[in-house]
Amino acid sequence: MYQRIRELREDNDLLQKDIAAYLNCTQVAYSRYELGKRDIPTDVLIALARFYHTSTGYILGLSDKR
> Rounded CA gap, 26 and 58, in Å?
24
Which domains occur in the chain, in start order?
Answer: 2-60 (1.10.260.40)
Asked if the model's pLDDT at residue 65 lies above 90, the reply is no
List Cα–Cα distances, 3 to 6, 13, 16, 35, in angstroms: 5, 15, 13, 8
How many of the other CB atoms lie within 10 Å of CB of 5?
A: 20
pTM over 0.85: yes
H or E element at residue 30: helix 27-35
Q: What is the per-residue pLDDT for 64?
A: 86
Q: What is the per-residue pLDDT for 16?
A: 97
The band of 1, judged by pLDDT with boundaries at 50, 70 and 90, is: confident
Question: For 19-59, what is each residue's pLDDT tens digit?
Answer: 999 999 999 999 999 999 999 999 999 999 999 999 999 99
The number of CA neighbours under 13 Å toward the Cβ of 58 is 16
Q: What is the per-residue pLDDT for 8?
A: 97
